[in-house]
Amino acid sequence: MVKKSFSNMACSLARALGIIGEWWSMLIVRDFFLGNGVRRFEQLRDSLGISRNILTERLKTLTEAGVIERVPLREGGKRCAYKLTDQGVDLMPTMVAMMQWGEKWQSEPKQRLVVVREKATGDEIAPLCLRNQGGEPLSMRDLYLTAVGPHGEQVVKEWPPDWITDSDQLPASTLKH
């Protein structure tokens, strides 16, 4: 079941987590990508080692959220396959971002299951990075974040201040709440 408290939050990250933030959800999505976007119940179960009842629940959540849809195998029949919708396919960057992060920082054991390559060259795709509207890569120092407040105004935060990487010294504002 979707985490109700997340789904209604005024934050697109929280709403996303309400759907794909549950245990197994993203792994199920990964399996769909490995299956050309289509999988069947037992196939998912076998490849993930998930319990049937949990899989049933996750498929329901994902279906209700519009990430996957049921495709009946015979008209009027009860059996079906599941496939990614456009919304589901659009989880690719999220999945890749997590895979790349995991590979860079959590590489014990040093194994991976999925590699994404360019058809034209066979090369692996590049690490994801944030870019401006013109397509130029941006580093952390090129960015700032705004927090949308209760009255619609935006409170600007400078990012990242020097002390983050340069020392362990904390600014006064952190000391006095």
Binders in 135-174 for DNA, by CB under 7 A: none
State yes or no: residue 27 binds DNA (CB under 7 A).
no
Does 144 engage in binding with a copy of itself (CB under 8 A)?
A: yes
CB of residue 69 to a copy of itself, shortest distance in Å: 9
Is 83 an interacting residue with respect to a copy of itself (CB under 8 A)? yes
- Which of a copy of itself, DNA, none does 87 bind, CB closer than 5 to 8 A by kind? a copy of itself
Minimum gap (Å) between residue 72 Cβ and a copy of itself: 9
What is the nearest approach in angstroms of DNA to the Cβ of residue 127?
Answer: 29
- Cα four-point dihedral sign 16, 20, 21, 26: negative
Residue indicated by tokens 């058809």: 119
41 binds, among DNA, a copy of itself, none (CB under 5 to 8 A by kind): DNA
Distance in angstroms (rounded) separating the CA atoms of residues 88 and 76: 25
CA torsion 67-24-91-72 (nearest 10°) is: -30
Positions in 28-87 near DNA (CB under 7 A): 40-43, 49-54, 56-57, 59, 73-74, 76-81
Residues in Cβ contact with 3 at an 8 Å cutoff, skipping those fewer than 6 apart: 17, 18, 21, 22
**Minimum distance from CB of 129 to DNA (Å)?**
30
| Main-chain phi, psi angles of 140, to 5 degrees | -55, -40
Binding segment for DNA among 20-28, 106-114, 115-123, 146-154 (CB under 7 A)?
A: 20-28
Q: What DSSP designation does 151 have?
A: T
Size of interface with DNA, in residues (CB under 7 A)? 29
SS3 42: helix
Residue type, 12: S
